[in-house]
Amino acid sequence: MNRRLVFWIPVALRLLLLLVGAGIVWYFFGPIVALAAIVGAMLVMLATQLHYLFQLSDWLDNPSSAKLPDGWGAWTDIFSRLYKLRRDDEKNQAELTEWLARFRQAMSLLPDGVAIMDDVLFLEWCNPAAERHLGLDLERDKGMRVTNLVRTPAFIDYIVLGRYEQPLTLSLRERKLIVQIIPFESRRQILVTHDATEAERVEMMRRDFIANASHELRTPLTVINGFLEIAFNQPNLELQTRMSHLKLMIEQGQRMQNLVEDMLTLTRLESVEYPLRPERVDIRALMEQIQREAMALSAGRHHVSLEVDGPDIKGSTDELRSAFGNLASNAVRYTPEQGSIALAWRMKEDGPEFVVKDTGIGIRPEHISRLTERFYRVDKSRSRETQGTGLGLAIVKHVLLRHDATLSIDSEPDKGSTFTVKFPSKSVYAE
Ligand code: ADP
């Protein structure tokens, strides 16, 4: 029914009732009493209206705590509509608060920084990543001008020039940041920051790796090309000279092959497409093979001993052969003649371990933490003389990572080195 009708019908009925009542009083008691009754009834109605108006005024002062009365007459409808409005409002507010909390949580989990500024660059809000990236503190810096908070000249130029279509790469607080400003709502701007330090580091490693690998391949190639030119230009060289050239060429060819094979092994170990497929590793057979290969490389120049006193483990036999083989061959290559190399597999309290101990040239402490970097060598010429690629310990590191194992190096110059590989107890193979 029409709201106005709902309002007016009770009013009209009440007036009609009043008039009928006044008519009856007039009939029995005369006009004076009837007039007095009408005035009295009007006063009661006025008092009722005033009472409800006061209640409404109280409620408007404090809508959330004061309770609305049920009301009388038209007030019943007004109060119930107000009550519904308040309930809807409370519901909307609760939804809004919940949504805001969700939005804040999502923003705080975001790895990228987001800061909202007004048109004159005063900070209104920012997420924790923006605080970290730009060194801000929302509580402290809210309402401050962002150019006063981030004072790097490149950042200030970027803002002054206003070329926001392009992001800006910024070095800030020892990190590489990609920063971009996005205007929105005509009077606000969003500042987005992305930490590119790790990506930059990976990119630099990749560039270094390519540069190093090219350099490593260029040397043997130059040697081979040089001898090929000599052979081409001087066809009548003595047989002995020719044979010595061929021998050097074979050595350099072998060096290139070792390098390419090690690079391929490293690439495969790093690739997610080659996950580790653990199998039972027959430790005794593996250790004996490592010892045989070390003895073959030593060609009788060293004493190579072996001790096996531990269980089989779960892992990749091929990868472990490559890692252990690298450690054993390093021991042979960096130990002078008559030195000794001790290979051991033992079960310790916290898990099995593989130990290679040599009485070789040793390593100075400042080199130890860098040995597993690609192409890092303490003595380049010695490494090359012994057909080293500079990638052996990088391969060891990656194989061990895939087996949850760790490498520790203990060494003393001119005394010898001990390389220890520790496996977790969970890697022991249970029958
Ligand atoms: P390389 O092919 O040059 O041997 P690695 O990655 O296997 O490369 O080893 C890196 C460097 O660590 C070597 O160049 C060498 O200087 C040092 N190194 C490794 N093992 C030993 C060892 N047992 N004794 C002394 N130095 C070692």
Q: What is the residue-level pLDDT of the chain in tens, covering all 431 positions? A: 566 777 788 778 888 988 898 899 899 988 888 899 889 888 988 898 898 888 888 888 877 766 767 777 777 778 888 888 888 988 999 999 999 999 889 988 999 999 999 988 899 999 999 999 999 999 999 999 998 999 899 999 998 888 888 899 998 888 999 999 998 877 889 999 999 999 999 899 889 989 989 988 998 999 999 999 999 999 888 889 999 999 999 999 999 999 999 999 998 888 877 888 899 999 999 999 999 999 999 999 999 999 999 999 999 999 999 999 999 999 999 999 999 999 999 999 999 999 999 999 999 999 999 999 999 999 888 887 878 889 999 999 999 999 999 999 999 999 999 999 999 999 999 87
The tokens 């009083």 sit on which residue? 25
Find the 210 Cα to ligand 1 centroid distance in Å.
Answer: 21
For residue 363 and ligand 1, the question of a CB distance below 6 A is answered with yes
The tokens 């790796």 sit on which residue? 209
CA-wise closest residue to 310 among 423, 185, 228? 423
- DSSP character for 374? T
CA-wise closest residue to 21 among 35, 8, 1, 11? 35
For residue 390 and ligand 1, the question of a CB distance below 6 A is answered with yes
- In ligand 1, the atom with minimum distance to the C-alpha of 388 is 2
pLDDT at 12: 85
For residue 417 and ligand 1, the question of a CB distance below 6 A is answered with yes
Find the 331 Cα to ligand 1 centroid distance in Å.
Answer: 8
Q: Mark out the alpha helices in 271-379 (DSSP H runs).
A: 283-298, 317-333, 365-368
The answer to whether 408 touches 425, Cβ cutoff 8 Å, is: no
For residue 329 and ligand 1, the question of a CB distance below 6 A is answered with no
Cβ neighbours around 231 below 10 Å, total: 14
For residue 389 and ligand 1, the question of a CB distance below 6 A is answered with yes
Per-residue pLDDT of 78-122, as tens digits, reads: 888 888 888 898 899 999 999 999 988 998 899 999 999 998 889
For residue 407 and ligand 1, the question of a CB distance below 6 A is answered with no
Find the 377 Cα to ligand 1 centroid distance in Å.
Answer: 6
Find the 365 Cα to ligand 1 centroid distance in Å.
Answer: 13
Q: How far is Cα 305 from Cα 85, in angstroms, rounded to an integer?
A: 89
For residue 377 and ligand 1, the question of a CB distance below 6 A is answered with yes
Cα R_g (the chain), whole angstroms: 44
Pairing, β 303-309 against β 313-315: unpaired
Residue nearest to ligand 1 atom 23, measured at CA: 331
Q: How far is Cα 357 from Cα 337, in angstroms, rounded to an integer?
A: 15
- In ligand 1, the atom with minimum distance to the C-alpha of 358 is 23
pTM of the model: 0.67
Return the bridge partners of 353, or none.
Answer: 346, 422
Find the 330 Cα to ligand 1 centroid distance in Å.
Answer: 6
Edge-to-edge strand ranges of the sheet holding 175-184: 123-126, 113-118, 188-195, 175-184, 168-172
- In ligand 1, the atom with minimum distance to the C-alpha of 390 is 8
pLDDT at 259: 92
Residue nearest to ligand 1 atom 25, measured at CA: 362
pLDDT at 51: 87
Q: Map out the domains of the chain with their CATH numbers.
A: 3-98 (no CATH), 110-195 (3.30.450.20), 199-270 (1.10.287.130), 279-427 (3.30.565.10)
